[in-house]
Amino acid sequence: MIETLHGELSRRERQIMDIVYQLGAATAADVRARLPEAPSYSAVRAMLRVLEDKDHVEHRKDGPRYVYQATVPVEAARRSAINRLLRTFFDNSLEDAVATLLDHRPSKLSKEELDRLADMIEQARQGSR
């Protein structure tokens, strides 16, 4: 279900969801303040209503304001996004995706980060035996 839902988002809806995930919970004003080339406040509220209709966000009242939060936990959304990325750009190859990430930022990885990655690879090796 998560896969299908996230595939239906427009560019602007994805931007709004990114903001909601970054903040944990957000009002329409919070979202509008962080959107590039932000539409009117009313337009942001309308988009949040659409996202609520699609079951991506839910709201609670905080005085006169609605505070929105994602209905899908961040870890599930993260996995869905990675799966979509792997399918779309890497023919489901995790190896190709990791190689691309390493090529993209090779000098930015610290020795500690490289060591942690090596440990994860070793754990994956042991788990596949």
Question: Where along the chain do its domains lie?
Answer: 2-70, 93-129
pLDDT at res. 3: 45
Beta bridge partners of 44: none
N- to C-terminal Cα separation, the chain: 31
Question: How big is the chain by its Cα radius of gyration, in Å?
Answer: 18
Domain 2-70 listed as CATH 3.40.50.10420: no
> In this structure, what is the dihedral angle of CA atoms 35, 97, 94, 116, given to the nearest 10 degrees?
-90
pTM over 0.95: no
Q: Which of 20-24, 65-69, 103-107 shows the lowest per-residue confidence on average (mean pLDDT)?
A: 103-107
Higher pLDDT, 105 or 73: 73
pLDDT band at 4 (very low <50, low <70, confident <90, very high): very low
Mean pLDDT of 58-76: 95
CA atoms within 13 A on the CB side of 5: 17
